[in-house]
A and B are shown apart, each in its own frame.
Chain A
Amino acid sequence: MTARPDVSGYFGKYGGKFVPETLMPALAELENAYADALADTAFQKQFDRLCKDYIGRPTPLYYAAQLSKKAGGATILLKREDLAHTGAHKINNALGQGLLAKRMGKTRIIAETGAGQHGVAAATVCAMLGLECVVYMGSEDIKRQAPNVVRMKLMNAEVRPVNSGSKTLKDAINEAIRDWVSNVQNTHYSLGSVVGPHPYPMIVRDFQAIIGREARAQVMSAYKKLPDYLVACVGGGSNSIGLFHPFYNDKDVKFIGVEAGGKGLKTGKHAATLATGKVGVLHGTKSYLMEDEHGQIMETHSISAGLDYPGVGPEHSFYKDSGRATYVTVDDNQALEGFKLLCHTEGIIPALESSHAIYYAVKMAKDLSKDKIIIVNLSGRGDKDLGIVTQALGMEA
């Protein structure tokens, strides 16, 4: 594996800790607690056991025969994170951080959520571990992801609506950071993606890397070879880093990150940070971000709340500059097409986030031969999106 990030929390020139002084000791505490946990076999055993018995890991690597046939080219395999408990990959990280919080003696967890998947995962883990849970969610996202709000409340989490700025994920993170600054003594901030100040991009990546480790073993076992391409959607970038990272040294395996093209790059209403952004500092990390000419963070748009974020994890910025990964965009309509296609061909309802990756994988599979293998991270299931999809497709219930 790689030695990144370095001791200062940098992936090349990206990363770091750009936070108020109040939080600096908490970040150091978290870094130390994480290092201790890594060295503690009892912690690792507990995490592994809960991954298996609670989350239901390993998730299958499924040969999507009909989807592959429809695409008419490469073999498409789906890493079924949609089958993980709570219906998305977010639970892997939420579980890891919940156990870390316990270990640090914290009694309260705060989390931000966009699509609601990380909020649900955090609420779930808190219920199981007996921790108090407060989830910050943009009021715009509360509207479009109502089922997840109900799920969080059922598990006794308090959902606090955020009405500032664009009322989406970015603002929910601001509010979670403000809460953390105010309650840092007893509170752990369970950050849901590979963003934020060091050590979050590293910790979240490590907890999500179980996706790639499993996929690597599964594809080797079934096909006796490595895949040719890994395809995953990128908002903050946790499911994609989770899949990519364990393949980092397999230089022939190509990484493709799919960003949200929203209503099209030309309209400005999108969330394609790596495709169009500049380097700056947001939410404690130096990375690509979407800003205006004066350095103000821009409001983004995507049909999928989970990709609707103007920043991206620093490790992705590093992958982009070094060429290790390629980043492409898929717009709202194409994502909907990917969504429908997977429903029709495989009987699987994907999350709108993952639908971006599905669409791109099918598009590229067409031009490849059958012996080429594409692994797509099916990062979540789409039940939460039925309202949006029904509306977008003009369907009647």
Chain B
Amino acid sequence: METKKLSRVDYIFKPETNCIDTLKKVMTMEKEEFILELIDSGLKGRGGAGFLTGLKWKLAAEAAGDVKYVICNADEGEPGTFKDREILDRVPYKVLCGMALCGYIVGAREGFIYLRAEYRFLVPKLRKAIADLNVEFLKIGLTFSIDIRFGSGAYVCGEETALIESMEGKRGEPRNKPPYPVTEGYLGKPTVVNNVETFVNCVIIAGIGHQEYKKFGTDNSRGFKLFSVSGDCSKEGVYELELGMSLQDFVDEFGDGDTKAVQVGGASGFCVPRKKFPDTIIGFEGIPTGGSMKIFNSSRSMYNVLHNYLEFFEEESCGQCSPCRVGCQQLLKGIVAVKRREKSSPYLDELMKLAETMKVASKCGLGQSVGNAFVSIIENFREEIVY
């Protein structure tokens, strides 16, 4: 399997001087040509699910209808992720130009940033950038305007159809898929929903071309990615790294020398114990991540970690489907009962089965991914849960 050495790159936070020029350049190209460029770059969505961005844009471009929408998913709620906040704070123009680029390609005239309520402090800066660019877009003959919509403290609204429901003034309960938003999204119209970082990557690819972009990363994980690094860590923060490194390299760089486990991909991701660091690739061939990397050293109780995650999911489950609503409650009650000796340790195997059931039976990504953290923590740290 192809791997890469850990290396820092600097594309995303590079000063945003020529976004508008990049837009102008794309506007001289055939739309299909740019979509191919994006598909060839291999860019996969940076929010965590990893759908091929070029294909998403292609489907939206091909969808019938005069009215289409572009939505920037800035509902960054995955525990341990804070890179979108950093992007919106430091290079908002790149995000907005990425949205405009998408609008031009798929034929949408309106875009929305769905910003989580926790990030309202960014609003003055964003409003200014939007006002500036709405004028700039007109100047280069691009009919596209952007507005902000807000979340109100619901993690599940990061799921694209829940986000759309929320924008439509409803409870943030995920929809059945298909239809996918690219054909029936906001107000029933074709809609592209992309993560903040994805839009920035699109602008970068438009600027440097897919050949240059493809030099970074591996076959399955092209490009570079922002990582939100926190926990028991020598240098916490947001880092831009090439995809495809081993977790061992990552821990050598960021750990505090006593790393016991890393939670890759947030509460909905996987817990990797020390012995598996060398064989774990960070990327779509190993463990994909929206960027959340939480490092735990040997002083941490993995029971507390798991308990914290399950409390999180129990609160954030929208409650619409039973596997997730009831499953989260039972997993939490279950590990508490084992810890208190009210249940014997083989009960954990029952809970593992429940977690596996939730993976297949839950309606959306939230319920489907609760089992990731649960199973990987129990498998690797069973003794810490029991004793």
On whether the two chains bind one another, the answer is no
